[in-house]
Amino acid sequence: MDTTPIINNFKSEEYQINMGPQHPATHGVLRLLLTIDGEIIKKVEPDLGYIHRSIEKMCERDSYQQIVHLTDRMDYLSSHINNEAVCLTVENALELEIPERVKVIRTIIAELTRIASHTLWWGVMGMDVGALTTYFYGFRDREMINDIFEETCGARLTMNYNIPGGLMFDIHPNFVKRTKEFIAHFKTKLPEYDLLLSNNIIFRKRMEGIGILTKEDAISFGASGPVGRASGYSCDVRKHHSYSAYDKVKFNEVLKTEGDTYSRYQVRVLEMWESLSIIEQLIDNIPEGDFFAKTNAVIKLPEGEYYQKVETARGELGVYIVSTGTKNPYRMKFRSPGFSNLSLLNHIAVGGKIGDLVATMATLDLVIPDIDR
Amino acid sequence: MNITKNIHEWLFSLMPETTASIVEMVLIAVVYLAIFAVAGLYLVLLERRVAAWFQLRLGPNRVGYQGLLQTMADALKLVSKELTGTLKADKFLYNLAPYFVIVTALMAMSLFPFTKELHAFDINIGIFFLIAISSIGVIGILLAGWSSNNKFALIGAMRSGVQTISYELSVGLSLLTMVLMTGSLQLSQIVEVQEKGGWLIVQGHIPALIAFCIYMIAGTAETNRAPFDLVEAESELGAGFHTEYSGMKFAYFFLAEFINMFIIASIATTVFFGAYLSPFGITENIPLLGVFWFLGKTLLLIFLMMWFRWTFPRLRIDQLLVLEWKYLLPLNLMNLLLMALMVLLGLTIQF
Amino acid sequence: MGLTKDYNTKIMTNEALQNLISLWIPELEFTEEKSQFLNITVPPEQLIPLMTQLKSNSETNFDYLFCLSGVDWGKELGVVYHLESTTHRHQLVVKVKTEDRENPTFDTVCKIWYTAEFHEREVFDFFGIQFTNHPNLKRLFMTEEWDGFPLRKDYVDEINMIIK
């Protein structure tokens, strides 16, 4: 018998590959340094800062009214909710009485924003797993919401509809009618989403059982929003630290326990139904009254520290203001949901294939300016 | 075909036999090349319009009537574009790759019987030749991925290699299943069998239907189209193997994809749906209408492939292989046995 | 859903928290002034024992670090940790400060909360605060060769910064 050991001349070697900053799956200017063995991901190292504008530093020289406008540019898909976060912080610090009308309108528009963000995400999700048609379906429905926004506040994406103390204008007379039209339209279209993508066998096979995040890890990594809730971690700020008009409406916090990519997908789709129900409950009950509370032209927050969290489409956005009593914040920090959600990417993507990484990343729903700020 | 006969006679009367036949071959090749380059362009247009239709938009409709000149304009643009490349590319292989792909695609075109007479190259191992040719195309893709010195391209090329080698089996076996009924690999013979006894998909009923389904799946995978477009996988690899190609070289890859789609659909038409034969022989006395029927059936199948592409998400590489080796291949082998039994026992439907 | 939850359970008041925590480490500074949370200021060397205790003790169980920010108080540099318990739903702020502006150093908490790894890198990037035992303390947003720490109050960049 031949006993010479078999010498393997073919060495397998890990190699590194740059995904981004210009790559279709990173949805912006995120750069991932991947260490790969064949097709299997060994390490994911995010490299950030390609779109960093130092919003936190800019805030230190701006007045509070100006800061609201900067926040649009963070998570541009939930711009209204970002504005709301800053406004709420300032209002709470000033202990302003906000008219009920403002609270209700803010809530309705925030939920519309959430739907708009989720429809876009849904389209892009499909595109990332190779089903290009979903993209256009998502945009079709988002377009209706954008039209409503445009009519009410003149902008479609970076809305700046909130000001500290209330809203910039009252709602457009058509607002209620068109929102109802949208609800009726979207209720027929949401089941279509399930037909086209959610129940597709290829899609299910690709999404189920990959990128698993346990509840403990979700909490420890500071996951929030749909990412956390898909792991069974109840983290809906609207429920736990209710703000605006969320305490007046009934809605469910969508929770899944699997923690895989498909459950993250499902949470977002089901959340659109919940958002629809919130809007339905409020749209007929917008109270009459002022659309803003009077504030001083120069807002000076009393000395102290203020923190406010809100639930954006991506998760928990925290605004931390350290004020020394001047018209500018002394230190302003945004705790963005995308930043924490990105930090767990390495944890859940390792061991998967390149295709898995793309699908997993799509369900984290990263918006890069939100991470970079 | 009188014109072709006249040209043939005129050529042979003009010069010695060998020269004449060479000139004739060149002439045929040029005609085919021109027709299919244009056909490829219109397939691109068709795909764009079909995609637009699926995706609630209009698609190209500005250049020419209903956008008919759009892809012509695109092709002109691509011709006039600068050919860029990577510095450290393996220049020879890098330049060779696109030609490999387009040449093999065009070579296969010569075999199809568009009508009884319009049949350029009726080789007696027709089906075998087609399978062989279509698998050479993958060498071009591998070369492109390897030589362009780009990791994304390399991953795409490796995926392509794995995919084509796997799905070749299913394409071959499902066609072999049909060949059992015809007893010949020659395409004209296959059509003849169908002329006598009805389309093969009807003759072979259940196993033929299974073979057709497998063939369409494997054929879609062979052409690297969605849901099997892992080779390009734009959301994963950017553009896959042709990341570093531009201008006309890119256009060759692009065109080859569409011509390959045409080939896969044409093979299916010839083997399953009676090539140029009209349904129930309604236009049997007008032979030229065969072209219409052939192209009509082919386009229908192409539409089916476009439908796949714009509906399904992409598979993952391991799922792709699992599908082939664990499901399609055993099914195919069993189907082959079933067909052999049927032919042996004479259970095929004959008109 | 079938999941009915009571969303407003807060087991411990700030006062009870203060009493409990001051039992563990006596020399802590507590304040509720100028903030909606209970604030604890902890000396740097006590940071890790306190944080470990806050997370692991079943009565406090602060398992969610929802914000970690660096702050430049002028004389001092520091880090502010915002903590929440996902079971008890009480919140707490822990602050740690140092007067050493040349070489500010704290211990890392990223073994306790994984999310701190990225947040601490951000703080290092903008405030130049070192975290000992951090697995991968590199610049996160800025380039490696960037000079200075932009979010510090004494940072000057005459070209890029517009001061009003």
The domains of chain A, with CATH numbers, are 52-372 (1.10.645.10)
Q: What is the mean pLDDT of chain C?
A: 81
CATH architecture of C14-132: 2-Layer Sandwich (3.30)
Q: Do C5 and A234 touch (CB under 8 A)?
A: yes
Give the mean model confidence (pLDDT) for residues A204-223.
88
Please, what is the angle between helix B289-309 and helix B247-272, to 10°? 110
Runs of H (alpha helix) within B55-150? 70-80, 91-109, 126-147
B109 with B230, same domain: the answer is: yes
> How far C151 CA lies from chain A's nearest CA (Å)?
6
The shortest CB-CB distance from B229 to any of A24, A130, A135 is to: A130
- How buried is A231 (Cβ within 10 angstroms: 0-12 exposed, 13-18 middle, 19+ buried)? buried
On whether the CB atoms of residues A210 and A362 are closer than 8 A, the answer is no
Distance CA B201, CA C145 (A): 69
Domain span at B72: 1-80
Confidence of residue A70 (pLDDT cuts 50, 70, 90): confident
* pLDDT above 70 for A143: yes
On whether the CB atoms of residues C40 and C30 are closer than 8 A, the answer is yes
Chain A residue closest in CA terms to B309:
A131
Domain-located, residue B288: yes
Confidence of residue A115 (pLDDT cuts 50, 70, 90): very high
Element housing C106 (H / E)? strand C105-107
Give the pair of three-digit tokens for residue B61: 């409709």
Q: Do A358 and B151 touch (CB under 8 A)?
A: no
B1 with B64, same domain: the answer is: yes
**Among C82, C86, C72, C87, which Cα is nearest to C128's?**
C72
Please give the torsion angle defined by the CA atoms of residues A33, A38, A43 and A44, in that order, rounded to the nearest 10 degrees: 40
b (16+ CB within 10 A) / e for B103-124: ebbbbbbbbbbbbbebbeeeee
Please give the torsion angle defined by the CA atoms of residues A291, A295, A299 and A305, in that order, rounded to the nearest 10 degrees: -80
Chain C residue closest in CA terms to A323:
C34
Name, in order, each residue with C-beta under 8 angstroms of C69's C-beta and a sequence gap of 6 or more.
A320, A331, A333, A335, C79, C80, C82, C119, C123
Check if A222 contacts C (Cβ < 8 Å): yes
On whether the CB atoms of residues A69 and A82 are closer than 8 A, the answer is no
Q: How far is CA A296 from CA A103, A163, A166, in A?
A: 20, 12, 13
B178 with B227, same domain: the answer is: yes
Which of A:114-173 have CB within 8 Å of C?
none
Q: Any contact of B with A, at least 3 CB pairs below 8 A? A: yes
Predicted pLDDT at C5: 53
* pLDDT above 70 for C6: no
Distance CA B153, CA B141 (A): 9
Predicted pLDDT at B330: 92
* pLDDT above 70 for A1: no
Residue ending a domain, choose from B38, B62, B80: B80
B222 with B297, same domain: the answer is: yes
* pLDDT above 70 for A3: no
Strand order in the sheet with C29-31: C29-31, C39-42, C91-98, C77-84, C64-72
Q: What are A177-187's pLDDT values in tens digits?
A: 989 999 999 99
B96 with B228, same domain: the answer is: yes
Give the pair of three-digit tokens for residue B337: 């046995």
Interface confidence, given as ipTM, is: 0.85
> How far B272 CA lies from chain A's nearest CA (Å)?
27
Distance CA B89, CA B83 (A): 13
* pLDDT above 80 for A256: yes
B206 with B251, same domain: the answer is: yes
Q: Which residues of chain B have pLDDT under 70?
A: 1-4, 351
**Among A49, A51, A53, A15, which Cα is nearest to A33's?**
A15
On whether the CB atoms of residues A122 and A268 are closer than 8 A, the answer is yes
Check if C138 contacts A (Cβ < 8 Å): no
Subunits close to B (at least 3 CB pairs below 8 A): A
Name, in order, each residue with C-beta under 8 angstroms of C90's C-beta and a sequence gap of 6 or more.
C10, C11, C12, C14, C17, C60, C84
* pLDDT above 50 for C71: yes
**Among C157, C156, C127, C152, which Cα is nearest to C139's?**
C127
- pTM for the predicted model, two decimal places: 0.87
* pLDDT above 60 for C3: no
Give the mean model confidence (pLDDT) for residues A323-352.
88
Q: Do A240 and C36 touch (CB under 8 A)?
A: no
Name, in order, each residue with C-beta under 8 angstroms of B35's C-beta and a sequence gap of 6 or more.
none
Distance CA A111, CA A246 (A): 10
Neighbours of B20 (CB within 10 A): 17
DSSP sequence for B266-277: HHHHHHHS-TTP
B221: Cα separation from own chain's centroid = 11
B94 with B73, same domain: the answer is: no
Predicted pLDDT at A119: 92
Distance CA A100, CA A112 (A): 18
Q: Can you tell me which residue has the tokens 């209710």?
A: A242
On whether the CB atoms of residues B293 and B283 are closer than 8 A, the answer is yes
Predicted pLDDT at A249: 87
* Chain B interface with A: residues with Cβ < 8 Å: 51, 54-57, 151-152, 155, 226-227, 229-230, 233-238, 310-319
Residue ending a domain, choose from B26, B45, B80: B80
On whether the CB atoms of residues A200 and A258 are closer than 8 A, the answer is no
B87: Cα separation from own chain's centroid = 33
What's the domain count of chain B?
2
Name, in order, each residue with C-beta under 8 angstroms of B119's C-beta and a sequence gap of 6 or more.
B112, B113, B187, B188
Predicted pLDDT at B148: 84
Runs of H (alpha helix) within chain A? 55-59, 64-71, 79-94, 100-128, 133-153, 175-193, 201-207, 215-220, 226-229, 237-240, 261-283, 337-343, 345-349, 354-364, 368-372
* pLDDT above 50 for C133: yes
Distance CA A332, CA C134 (A): 25
Check if C114 contacts A (Cβ < 8 Å): yes
Q: Residue C68 in 3-state DSSP?
A: strand
Predicted pLDDT at A18: 85
B101 with B31, same domain: the answer is: no
Q: What are A36-46's pLDDT values in tens digits?
A: 888 888 888 88
Distance CA B237, CA B243 (A): 9
Q: Residue C49 in 3-state DSSP?
A: helix
Q: Residue B156 in 3-state DSSP?
A: helix
B201 with B159, same domain: the answer is: yes
B126 with B261, same domain: the answer is: yes
B36 with B56, same domain: the answer is: yes
Check if C67 contacts A (Cβ < 8 Å): yes
Provide φ and ψ at A353, rounded to 5°: -95, 175
**Among A122, A297, A142, which Cα is nearest to A195's?**
A122
Q: What are A278-337's pLDDT values in tens digits?
A: 998 888 888 888 888 787 788 888 888 888 889 888 888 989 988 888 888 888 889 888
Domain-located, residue B46: yes
Beta bridge partner(s), residue C97: C78
Q: Do C80 and A320 touch (CB under 8 A)?
A: yes
DSSP tag of B127: H
Where do the structural domains in chain C lie, given as residue ranges?
Answer: 14-132
**Among B300, B302, B298, B299, which Cα is nearest to B270's?**
B298
Neighbours of B14 (CB within 10 A): 10
Domain-located, residue B350: no
Predicted pLDDT at A8: 67
Cis peptide bond prior to B227, omega within 30° of 0: yes
Q: Do C37 and A255 touch (CB under 8 A)?
A: no
**Among A19, A50, A23, which Cα is nearest to A35's?**
A19
DSSP tag of A353: B
Predicted pLDDT at C2: 38
On whether the CB atoms of residues A222 and A173 are closer than 8 A, the answer is no
What percent of chain A has a predicted confidence (pLDDT) above 70?
98
Check if A183 contacts C (Cβ < 8 Å): no
Cis peptide bond prior to B330, omega within 30° of 0: no
B175 with B156, same domain: the answer is: yes
Q: What are A215-241's pLDDT values in tens digits?
A: 888 888 888 889 988 988 888 888 888
